[in-house]
A and B are shown apart, each in its own frame.
Chain A
Amino acid sequence: MSAAATNGNTLKVRYFDIDENPPKNYLNAESGLKSWLFTVDHKRIGLMYLASIALFFFVGGVLALVLRTELFTPAENLMNAETYNRIFTLHGAIMVFLFIIPSIPAALGNFLLPIMLGAKDVAFPRLNLASFWIYSIGALFTLASLAVNPIDTGWTFYTPYSVQTGSAVILMTFGVFIMGFSSILTGMNFIVTVHKMRAPGMTWGRLPLFIWAMYATSVIQVLATPVLAITLALLIMERTLGIGIFDPALGGDPVLYQHFFWFYSHPAVYIMIVPAFGVISELIGTFSRKTVFGYWAIAMSSLAIAFIGSLVWGHHMFVSGQSELSTVVFSFLTFFVGIPTGIKIFNWLATMHKGSIDMKTPMLYACIFLFLFTIGGVTGIMLGAISVNVQLHDTYYVVAHFHYVMMGGTVMAFLGGLHFWWPKMTGKMYSEFWGRISAVIIFIGFNLTFLPQFIMGSQGMPRRYYSYIEQFQTMHQLSTIGSYVLGIGFVIIAVYLAHSLWKGEKATSNPWGARTLDWMTSSPPLQHNFNYQPVVTNGAYDYHKPISDFTLGISDDVYHGNDHEGDIRKQSAETV
Chain B
Amino acid sequence: MEYLTNFFLPSAESTYAANVDALFHFINIVSLILLVGITIAIVYFSIKYRRKSQEDTTPLITHNTTLEVTWTVIPLILILIVFGWGFNDYVEMRTPPANSYEVYVESFSFGWNFEHPNGIREANQLTVPVAQPVRLIMRSRDGDVLHSFFVPQFRLKQDLMPNRYTYAWFEAIRPGEFVYFCTEYCGGGHSMMNGIVRVKTQEDFDSWTEEELGRDLDALPLAELGRLVYTSAGCQGCHSLDGASRVGPTFAGLYMRERQFTDGSTRIADEAYLIESIVEPQVLVNVGYPNNMPNIYAQTLSEREILGLVEFIKELQ
Contacts and interface: CB of A to CB of B under 8 A. Distances in A.
Interface of A: 76, 80-82, 85, 152-154, 158, 160-161, 164-166, 248-249, 252-255, 288-291, 293-297, 319-321, 324, 327-328, 331-332, 335-336, 338-339, 342-343, 345-347, 349-350, 352-359, 367, 370-371, 374-375, 378-379, 381-382, 384-391, 393-395, 455, 458-460, 462-469, 513, 543-544
Given A161-B146, A388-B24, A338 B247 contact: no
B93 A390 contact: yes
A462 to B, nearest CB: 4
Contacts of B220: none
Interface residues of B, number: 93
A512 to B, nearest CB: 11
Given A319-B158, A382-B31, A388-B27, A359 B50 contact: yes
A384 B79 CA distance: 10
Interface string B243-275: 011110000000000000000000000000000
Given A81-B189, A370-B42, A544-B58, A331 B86 contact: yes
Contacts of A352: 41-42, 45-46, 49
Nearest to B163: A248
Contacts of B143: 249
A467 B87 CA distance: 34
Interface string B70-83: 01100110011011
Nearest to A543: B58
A80 B245 CA distance: 8
B187 A80 contact: no
Given A153-B185, A350-B61, 7 more contacts: A342-B75, A343-B71, A381-B31, A382-B24, A391-B157, A465-B191, A513-B54
A256 B185 CA distance: 17
A339 B79 CA distance: 9
Interface in B196-252: 244-247
Contact of B57 (A357, A386, A394, A544): A544
Given A166-B291, A248-B161, A386 B90 contact: yes
B10 A460 contact: yes
Q: Count chain B CB atoms within 10 A of each CB in A320, A347, A349, A355 and give the residue with the most.
A: A355
B39 interface: yes
B46 A357 contact: yes
Task: List the 10 shortest-distance A-B pairs measured between CB atoms, nearest first.
Answer: A460-B152, A248-B163, A387-B89, A356-B56, A385-B86, A335-B79, A465-B191, A378-B31, A290-B58, A394-B183
A339 B75 contact: yes
A391 B35 contact: no
Contacts of B71: 342-343, 346
B34 A378 contact: yes
B148 A319 contact: yes
A319 B31 contact: no
B191 A467 contact: yes
B155 interface: yes
A154 B62 CA distance: 46
Contact of B35 (A76, A320, A374): A374
8 contacts: A81-B190, A154-B185, A165-B292, A356-B56, A382-B24, A393-B183, A455-B8, A458-B9
B199 to A, nearest CB: 17
Contacts of B166: 321
Chain B binding surface SS class = mixed
B10 A343 contact: no
Contact of A339 (B31, B63, B72, B82): B72
Contacts of A248: 161-163
Contacts of B131: none
Contact of A354 (B59, B83, B164, B292): B59
Contact of B247 (A81, A296, A327, A371): A81
A371 B82 contact: no
Given A385-B85, A394-B148, A161 B187 contact: yes
A465 B38 contact: no
B58 A289 contact: yes
B51 to A, nearest CB: 4
Contacts of B164: 321
Given A332-B83, A387-B86, A544-B58, A161 B145 contact: yes
B290 interface: yes
A338 B79 contact: yes
Nearest to A327: B90
Contact of A391 (B41, B56, B152, B192): B152
A153 B186 CA distance: 8
A387 B90 contact: yes
A81 B164 CA distance: 29
Contact of B152 (A254, A324, A459): A459
A320 B159 contact: yes
B58 A356 contact: yes
B127 interface: no
B150 interface: yes
Nearest to A469: B179
A465 B190 contact: yes
B157 A319 contact: yes
